[in-house]
Chains A and B, each alone.
Chain A
Amino acid sequence: MLNFTIRRLVLAVPTLLFISLVIFLLLELAPGDPMAQVPLTVPPEVKEKMREALGLGQPMHIRFWKWIVQFFWIEPQVLIDAMFGTTFSEGDLRVISWQTRSPVMDIVVQRIPQTLWVVGTAYVVAILIALPIGIYSAYRQYSWFDQMGTFVSMVGFSVPPFFSGVLVIVIFSVQLGWFPSIYDTTLVVNSWDSFMLQLKQMIMPVMVLALQITAQLSRFMRASMLDNLNQDYVRTARAKGLSEYTVVMVHVLRNSMIPVVTVIALGIPAIFGGAIITEQVFKVNGIGQLLIGAIQANDLPMVQTLTFIFAVLIVLFNLIADVLYGILDPRIRYD
């Protein structure tokens, strides 16, 4: 098992390097100039100095190498410093945002909790809804419940979040006035009232995100249950005289969960990407909105870092899914 994990880890390194290269090269072609905002009265030689101060003077491969060093060597040191109060990273150059002229990672760290809070809750809610639906749909295949489930998940697939989000805003905040349409991140939860407010503002974004995830997961759960329900060991379990509950909820469910768990792990990075739109609709100032803002402001280091963080998340969760599959299903471990 350790061997399997290590091999996967080693394979992740070239993947990450390739992705960082793609992102870097893509941005290298950018026509945007960070000096565009500088007044015309500034002489050209001063501008040239400013460009060099931003690290733009050197050839491409050196800048790529510097960026890699900054991202993989200096930023972790900063993290360790912040956690343990050490001074590893003193005096090192960090990735600087062109918008705010402050380190990119500091801003990202400020924004991540909002995203994690909304996306994480949505994911948990979706799993809690999707699994029972999937199990029951498979157990009563082609019943009206199953047909309804199929239809609802088809709708969940088809209605894009920028429509479902706007639709719930129209219904629940414009027409009914139940929930606020804008997510207020400055709200401090310190009393029952503020907790209720937080709950109210979270319901709509969480529901919109959860609808999509539920649609996928419940279908997957159903298919996986159906694969197992007709197996021989289920008949054996029934023949032994086990109760129907034990047969379905213990024997079948445990085996069906193997692929579902990996799908859950694989879906997490996709959700971060999808949350970009939901964050935009509900004005949640998470990393998705940060990315959109950075793209519109032509802030390339920020865009580069954020895109790369998304890529790291994808590779990381692919790895987790692979290892998880190996742990749950010993047949997969071909050491």
Chain B
Amino acid sequence: MTDHDRTDTLVPDEGLAPASTALPTTDVMEELTTPPRSQWRDVWDQFKTHKGAMIGAILFIFIVAGVYLGPYLWSIDPTQIDIRSRNQGPSWAHPFGTDQLGRDILARMMSGGQTSVSVGITAMLLALFLGSLIGVVAGFFKRLDGPLMRLTDLFLALPLLPLLLVMMLLFREPLSAAFGLERGIFILIVCAIGITSWMPTARIVRGDVLAIKEREFVLAARSIGTSNTQIITRHILPNVLSPIMVSATLGIATAIITESALSFLGLGFPPDFPTWGRLLFDGVDYLQQYPERVFWPGLAISLTVLSVNYLGDGLRDALDPRIRGR
């Protein structure tokens, strides 16, 4: 009703008086009528001031888009062998050149990136799920705190890279027999990375849950008879979202590096199924003649990880209420 009145009175005004006289009133009115700013709006505003994080976010989105949407624009099949045009340098037909079997390196980079990025994201999600679950349970239920944290300490004391290598060695055959070569190895790598990288998340989440559990709003929720599950999902989890999000970004970075390291050591994906680490590994054989074959996948890994790290850095600042607004 009032809104309608205001527009009615303002519209004829605009023709008569300069616009500047009408503006202050609308400003004041808007300030009174706009709803309070949401938390995520504040976070976004703080995030925008972190230049590195903005560049990182844009770069990461660009890489992910290039890797997933690129094949629609660049429709050469990454596995198509063309022996006659092997070992070519950069040209319009093959911007990154071709490899020793005449396969287009740009197409292989895109398809390798798809695998690397999806392994990174899936493994991160798994590690995040395990870490948050164990962290929340350990923080919330006092009786489980001791055993679960001892378990976390034990996992932290495991030599991870050697164990990952051993796991790759042992479960490669049975899993590729059960799910097919590519999918079996994908499942294996994702599970191996996820199982060996949930510990930092669990520790951080547990610490936060311990603090939040003692706050008044949890007590209030409990006093009106809210069940434990509902307290956790409605009251605790939203409040520990920020450390989870930060460890999510860092988790993508470690997962991508670990996957590439496994592929580089020859224990990751099979040769005809490229990932960035595998492409780098294959390129090492031709290091002296064609150093660019090592350079492109290495650069892709490094840029992705760098952008994700900066993204996480900015996110940490933006989600910290003590820093925000300063």
> B161 interface residue, CB < 8 Å from A?
yes
- B201-256: which residues lie under 8 A (CB-CB) from chain A? 253
Is B315 located at the chain interface by the 8 A CB criterion? no
Distance A99 CA – B227 CA, assembled complex (angstroms): 59
Prevailing SS type, chain A contact patch: helix
Tell me if A189 is interfacial: C-beta within 8 Å of chain B: no
Q: Is B159 touching A26 in the complex (CB atoms < 8 A)?
A: no
The number of chain A residues touching the other chain, given as a range, is: 35 or more
Contacts of A26 in B (CB 8 A): 163, 166-167, 170
Contacts A15-B154, A314-B157; A169 near B287 (Cβ below 8 A): yes
Q: Closest residue of chain B to A273, judged by CB?
A: B161
Complexed CA–CA distance, A306 and B165 (Å):
12
Considering only residues 23-51 of chain A, those with a C-beta below 8 Å from chain B are 23, 26-27, 29-32
A315 contact set on B, CB distance < 8 A = 157
The reply to whether the CB of A174 lies closer than 8 angstroms to some CB of chain B is yes
User: Which residues in A have their C-beta under 8 angstroms from that of B52?
Assistant: 154
B257: which A residues are within 8 A, CB to CB? 160
- What is the 8 Å Cβ interface bit string for chain A, positions 268-295, against chain B (1 contact, 0 not)? 0100011011001000000000011001
Which B residues are CB-close (under 8 A) to A166?
280, 284, 287, 294, 298
B302 beta carbon closer than 8 Å to chain A: yes
Bound CA–CA A291/B168 (angstroms):
13
With beta carbons under 8 angstroms apart, the residue of B158, B280, B301, B313 that contacts A19 is: B158
Q: Are B309 and A31 in contact (CB under 8 A)?
A: no
The reply to whether A18 and B170 contact each other, CB–CB distance below 8 Å, is no
Q: Could you say which residues of chain A place their CB within 8 Å of the CB of B280?
A: 162-163, 166
Residues of A within 8 A of B288 (CB): 174
In the complex, A291 Cα to B299 Cα: how many Å? 28
Q: Of residues 271 to 305 in B, which have CB atoms within 8 Å of A's CB atoms?
A: 277, 280-281, 284, 287-288, 291, 294-295, 298-299, 301-302, 305
The answer on a CB contact under 8 Å between B157 and A19 is yes
Closest to A304 in B: B166
Which of B159, B277, B310 interacts with A273 by CB under 8 Å? Answer: B159
Name the one of B162, B173, B305 contacting A291, with C-beta atoms under 8 angstroms: B162
**Residues of B contacting A276 in the complex (Cβ-Cβ under 8 angstroms):** 161-162, 165, 265
Option from A19, A277, A295 in Cβ contact (under 8 Å) with B166 = A295
| In the complex, chain A residues whose CB is within 8 Å of the CB of B295 | 167, 170
Q: Is A258 an interface residue (CB 8 A)?
A: no
Nearest B-chain residue to A150, judged by Cβ: B52
Tell me if A159 is interfacial: C-beta within 8 Å of chain B: yes
| CB contact list, B167-188 vs A, under 8 A | 167, 169-171, 173-174
A157-B170 in contact (CB<8A)? no
Residues of A with C-beta under 8 A to B265: 276-277, 280, 292
Q: Which residue of A lies closest to B267 (CB)?
A: A295
Say yes or no for B98: interface residue by CB 8 A criterion.
no
Residues on B with beta carbons closer than 8 Å to the beta carbon of A126: none
Take A15-B154, A163-B301 as given contacts and tell me if A154 and B310 are in contact as well, using a CB distance cutoff of 8 Å.
yes
**Complex interface: chain B residues within 8 A of A32 (CB):** 169
- Chain A residues 156-190 with CB under 8 Å of chain B are 157-160, 162-163, 166-167, 169-170, 174
Q: Is the CB of B159 within 8 A of A170?
A: no
Tell me if A303 is interfacial: C-beta within 8 Å of chain B. Answer: yes
A249-281 to B contact mask, C-beta < 8 Å, 1/0: 000000000000000000001000110110010
- Check B287–A170 contact: CB distance below 8 A: yes
| Contact of A15 with B153 in the complex, beta carbons under 8 Å | yes
The verdict on A18 contacting B154 (CB below 8 Å), with A160-B301, A166-B284, A307-B162 known, is yes
Within 8 Å of chain B (Cβ to Cβ): is A22? Answer: yes
Question: With A15-B157, A295-B267, A310-B159 known to touch, is A158 a contact of B287 (CB < 8 Å)?
Answer: no
Residue of A nearest to B308 (CB): A158
Contact A160 B260 (CB under 8 A): yes
Q: Judging by beta carbons under 8 Å apart, are A318 and B157 in contact?
A: yes
Query: Is B298 a contact of A307 with CB atoms below 8 Å?
Result: no
Residues of B within 8 A of A313 (CB): 159
Question: B163 near A307 (CB under 8 angstroms)?
Answer: yes
Nearest 7 CB-CB pairings of A with B: A310-B159, A163-B298, A158-B306, A158-B305, A162-B264, A170-B291, A273-B161
Could you show 18 A-B contacts with beta carbons less than 8 Å apart? A19-B158, A27-B170, A30-B169, A31-B174, A157-B309, A160-B260, A160-B305, A163-B299, A166-B298, A170-B291, A170-B294, A277-B261, A280-B265, A291-B165, A298-B169, A303-B169, A307-B162, A314-B159
Beyond A23-B163, A162-B280, A295-B166, 5 additional pairs, beta carbon < 8 A? A30-B169, A157-B305, A158-B305, A166-B298, A296-B266
